[in-house]
Structure 1
Amino acid sequence: MAKRDYYEVLGASKGATAEEIKKAYRRKAKELHPDRNKDNPGSEAAFKEVGEAYDVLKDADKKAAYDRYGHAAFEGGMGGGGGRPGGGHGDFASSFSDVFDDLFGDFMGGGRGGGGRQRAARGSDLRYNLRVTLEEAYNGLQKTINVPTTVSCDSCNGTGADGGVEPTTCPTCSGMGKVRAQQGFFTVERSCPTCSGLGQIIKNPCNSCHGQGRVEKERSLSVNIPAGVETGTRIRLANEGEAGMRGGPSGDLYIFIEVSKHALFEREDLNLFCRVPVSIATAALGGDIEVPTIDGGRSRVKIPAGSQSGRQMRLRSKGMPALRGAASGDMFIELAVETPVNLTSRQKEILREFDTLSEENNPESSSFFKSVKSFWDSMKS
């Protein structure tokens, strides 16, 4: 019986790319797997046919020969494989193993082509939450923090072995760090259970670290917090995280900044806002007030006569510094006209007299009540 065209077997076009061929193979292999076709006695043969087709078309050289000569490329010695496509490697297990590596190689320690054995494990990254005041965020500071972490074991120099002796090759995986097991048509690859994927074992573990190559310890670190940081700013300290396993590289330490709320200032990006209460007399007559600034200084602000609550005045370059660059934000003074409380009889008398005399001095009130009167008149009509 004549062999079917390999492209037809996979359901791919002759101009298909390597990625398209791989996708077609995955689809067909899943469709024809014997475990899903137990009532179909021909599924196993079809399944192997798909594996044979993919074994040829996945290889650029074999594919080129097949595109030119067809099945004849692998007959009579042309392919160097004794009549089998791919030189004796056309079985399904080999083909599926390649796809398996493509899919899961990153989780197995680097796939088939990287020498197999995993390197010594890198230490974990650490996170440290640091709260600073708004003044500290404005000025920047040098701060010492205590970080609970793991450090390289001094007793074994990080090797995990007693006396610092070098680990030996794992006899189970021969140093590859992984083992393979045949399960029917599948080749399953797992991390070696003996060495946990490291490819090496320790015969005499260090008493201090119990073979880990690292011990728990609290470290004191001096951290430079630059001026201009804000809540959410992240500072990375390379190699200051947990020590790696058995001499592996250390992780990094990430410091996340949180700026505390301030009693006087509210921050918005680089700008600061300060709500300042003023008396009715000052708002009406105008005057000067003294306001604080984030650098600890004072600034005099002129209040124009007739100022209303909510009016803002800007003090340029009195805000927060930019984290990068020489720019600075502004400070905005927001007036809050304060209504007096607990008035004396004399104060009330003066205010009533003032109210009587100031009907023409409240343009906003006059405009509002005129609009109200017009509204009521329209409702009546």
Structure 2
Amino acid sequence: MAKRDFYDVLGVQKGATAEELKKAYRKKAKELHPDRNHDNPDAESQFKEVNEAYDALKDPQKKAAYDRFGHAAFDGGMGGGPRPGGGAGQGDFASAFSDVFDDLFGDFMGGRGGGAGGRQRATRGSDLRYNLRVTLEEAHQGLQKTIKVPTSVQCSTCTGTGAEGGAEPTACPTCSGMGKVRAQQGFFTVERTCPTCGGIGQIIKNPCRACGGSGRVEKDRSLSVNIPAGVETGTRIRLAGEGEAGLRGGPTGDLYIFIEVEEHALFQRDGQSLFCLVPVSMTAAALGGDIEVPTIDGGRSRVKIPAGSQSGRQMRLRGKGMPALRGGGVGDMFIELAVETPVNLTSRQKELLKEFEKLGEDNNPESSSFFTKVKSFWDSMKS
């Protein structure tokens, strides 16, 4: 059976460009791939025919020979080159088929690598995390703080190249700088990370003694960090370029500082609001008066307690809370009263309280109201 014209097989004109040939080949290969045509018994032979045609036409020398002599160029003696379907041509077929293999399965396998042929030259350094604890006072005021961060920095001996004397790395002989090697397994060509260079595409003949060829060394760095006023637990501060140094001269990662605000002995925080629980004596709550309370800035504020105040009563001090992060005003501070029952009474104090109790029938409205309701409840249950 006579072979079909290679241009007809790919569905292109004789003067098609290399890009047009490649585009047509990929389209045909996808359409005729055996894994997609289980119900077509001729799919495999048609798929091989497409690969044979593209293998001949993608090479300028083979294409010129085919344009001049037709199929006879590959039958021996005319073109001088190997046949597209066998011998040395299998390597070319594998290379050509890997293109369509990437298109068919690239998404599932994670896609192609970036750069020329997926090669990986320099690697970006990792981002680092630093947990920083600050006091509530520091969170209120903001501060400049120096921290020590253990990280990897660029090797000064080789200037990050990883090679002794700062020499440039050379292309890996195993993968020719591609970072990947291809192996044929039956009908498929499988691409794997190069075992020699680990996917970098380069090797260092004389590794730097200071860094062992990595281009970076471990070192503690001192950094001055600006903590803005108003930070809360969970606030994240990003310092660009202050993370781990890149591999083989790659860009540096970032440093992320996570803030944790310590609990305070006097104040509880809720966003921009501060709460302070202030104990007051029974006498002060009953008679009323003035008390001094602390504020987060280290100052004092005088608060007037109304006569007859009960536990839980709150009073607001405007503008005495926490500032909003990066501007936006200041919150308020709330004073909450906790009326303290006297303890360790003397005999005389007990006598005075008993006397007060006898005279104070109308001094406890809450209690009177409660027990009136209780009596009503019991009476209703009896009836």
TM-score higher than 0.5: yes
Stretches of 4+ aligned residues off by more than 6 angstroms: 49-52
TM-score of the aligned structures, taking structure 2 as reference length: 0.75
Contact 1:51/1:92, CA 8 A, preserved across alignment: no
Matched, 1:96 2:98: no
What is the CA deviation profile of residues 116-149 of structure 1, one whole-angstrom value per residue up to 9, with x for unaligned ones? 2113111111111110000000001111111111
Q: Is the 8 A contact 1:97 1:187 kept in 2?
A: no
User: Residue 355 of structure 2 is aligned with which of 353, 356, 365?
Assistant: 353
Q: Distance in 2 between matches of 1:50 and 1:288?
A: 98
Q: 2:113 aligns with which of 101, 109, 112?
A: 109
Cα distance change on mapping 1:364 and 1:117 into 2, 3 Å: same
* 2-structure distance, mates of 1:179, 1:202: 19
Change (3 A) 1:212 1:350: same
Q: Report the counterpart of residue 369 of structure 2 in structure 1.
A: 367
Question: Which aligned pairs between 1:5-24 and structure 2 lie closer than 5 A?
Answer: none
Structure 2 unmatched ranges of 5 or more:
1-26, 52-69, 71-92
Amino acid at match of 1:103: F
**1:272-314 deviations in Å (ceiling 9; x for gaps):** 0000000111111111110000000000001111111001111
**3-state secondary structure, aligned to 2:251:** coil
Does residue 246 of the first structure (1) align with residue 248 of the second (2)? yes
Match of 1:262 among 258, 261, 264: 264
Aligned to 1:214: 216
Q: Aligned-pair distance for 1:93?
A: 6.2
**TM-score, scaled relative to structure 1:** 0.76
> Does the 8 Å CA contact 1:150/1:214 hold for their aligned counterparts?
yes
**Counterpart contact for 2:215–2:247, Cα < 8 Å:** yes
| Aligned pairs for 1:229-240 within 5 A | 229-240=231-242
State the aligned residue count: 312
Distance 1:102 1:326 in 2: 47
1:182, distance to aligned residue in structure 2 (A)? 2.3
Percent identity between matched residues is 74
- State how far apart, in whole Å, the 2-side matches of 1:315 and 1:51 are: 82
1:69 aligns to what? none
Tell me which residue corresponds to 1:336: 338
Unaligned runs of 5+ in 1: 1-20, 33-41, 56-76, 78-87
Q: Amino acid of the residue matched to residue 189 of structure 1?
A: E
The one of 170, 175, 178 equivalent to 1:176 is 178
Q: Find the aligned partners of 1:51 and 1:343 in 2 and give their Cα distance.
A: 103
Q: Note closer, same or farther for the CA distance 1:359–1:211 as it changes in structure 2 (3 Å cut).
A: same
SS in 2 for 1:361: coil
1-structure distance, mates of 2:192, 2:221: 37
State the Cα distance separating 1:96 from its structure 2 match.
Answer: 3.4
Larger radius of gyration: 2
For residues 369 and 114 of structure 1, do their structure 2 counterparts lie closer, same or farther at Cα, with a shift above 3 Å needed?
farther
Aligned to 2:323: 321
Question: Do 1:48 and 1:92's aligned partners in 2 also have CA atoms closer than 8 Å?
Answer: no
1:65 corresponds in structure 2 to none
Q: Provide, for residues 293-342 of structure 1, a one-character-per-residue CA deviation record: whole Å limited to 9, x for no partner.
A: 00000000011111110011110110000112231111000000000100
**Match status 1:126 vs 2:131:** no
Aligned residue in 2 for 1:200:
202
SS in 2 for 1:198: coil
Tell me the distance in 2 between the aligned counterparts of 1:370 and 1:131.
54
Letter paired with 2:104: V
Equivalent residue of 1:131, what SS?
Answer: strand
Q: In 2, Cα distance between the equivalents of 1:350 and 1:184?
A: 104
TM-align CA RMSD: 2.9
